[in-house]
Amino acid sequence: MNTIQGFMLIDVDVAALNNAGNDTSTTLDNAVMTKKIRKDGKEYPYVSGQAWRYWWRETLMRNFNWQISPIIREKKIAYTEADPLKYADDDIFGYMRAGKKNIIDTKTGKSKSINVTLTRVSPLKNSALIAVSYNPIVQHWSSMSRHEGDAVPYGKDEYCAIMKGMFSIDLDMVGTFSSMNKTGFQNINEDMRQLYLEKEGVFEIDDPFAKDINGNPLKLIRLPKEIREQRVKDVILALKYLSGGAKQTTNFADVTPKIIVLAILKSGNHPFSHLAKEEMGKAVFSVDALKEVINDYQDKFDNKIFVGKRKGFMDEIESDLIKLKEENLIEYGSVNKIIDKFVKTIDLGE
């Protein structure tokens, strides 16, 4: 198993990136609360994993010309087109298209309903973005007063926070689809399988895990190497231009990484989850924790660990990171240059 493992910190001031609806704890008739979660008796603001994915997908559409899979709405359900060859976001972000189809039973001659649900577990997995250190969330009182009569008051939560997030991309899954008729495993149906195989460069490979009753491996459909690699590269490159969040009109915030850590790992676990911590009331990046990860997983890293940092952010750790670079343990530089450098190492093979 080969995965890209990523960790990043963002730094926002007076922000309200992801809200949770009406705040019933205030005396104001119109107030919105931000998403927050309790840990060790304190409340920390966070951005849901779903919201982060929305920003990511929008950035890929706007900056990398991805054709986004259309959303189909039926009664109380909604789903995408579920065509991972045509739509890169269906491939990378996954989908579930539930449905039934009526066919004629060849034995009885009667109509019967069969399940035609297609599902794909996303190769791209990400956490929520959550504040590293405790900093109280403040409710700000505002008013709409550009009219005659009394002003209309409203409230909104705001916070300053350094937020951490992590993500993973399963490189073996990207551009690779199963047609096995089993709940949770059928990415494409038989008609799609035949159609895909007619496309130039699309080929079959053995499924490394699933076998038929005779012990023979089932087949997976795989897209050409250049398509798979470009999709992965676009996802990583999009982090340089990541934008989004609620209240951007009056609480504009930059959500691009201020520190990013990237590596290719021969495993599916995430070793970078505790690189940031709270120390004396401040969020800090632990170079010691990074050193420990390098030592503990040195046989699992496919290449060096790439670390990028924005000047002006946590400059106190710069000398320690430069030292690790001089010891040939990491690649180090500015965030955007490190992302570009890392992307050049991505090679998915055949």
> For residue range 215-257, what is the model confidence (pLDDT) as tens digits?
999 999 999 999 999 999 999 999 999 999 998 888 899 999 9
- CA atoms within 13 A of residue 42's CA, in its CB half-sphere: 14
pLDDT at 9 over 90: yes
How far apart (Å, rounded) are the C-alpha atoms in residues 169 and 125?
A: 6
Q: Say what the pTM is.
A: 0.91
Structure confidence at residue 140 (pLDDT): 78
Residues 267, 225 contacting (CB under 8 angstroms): no
Structure confidence at residue 29 (pLDDT): 66
How far apart (Å, rounded) are the C-alpha atoms in residues 43 and 84?
A: 39
The per-residue pLDDT of the chain, averaged, comes to: 91
Which helix or strand (DSSP H or E) is residue 37 part of? Answer: strand 36-39
How far apart (Å, rounded) are the C-alpha atoms in residues 274 and 296?
A: 14
Q: How confident is the model at residue 305 (pLDDT cuts 50, 70, 90)?
A: very high
261's CB contacts (< 8 A; 6+ apart) are 6, 7, 8, 272, 275, 290, 305, 306, 307
| C-alpha distances in Å from residue 50, one per residue of 76, 125, 192 | 19, 10, 28
How far apart (Å, rounded) are the C-alpha atoms in residues 110 and 103?
A: 8
Structure tokens at 82: 């579920």
pLDDT at 123 over 90: yes
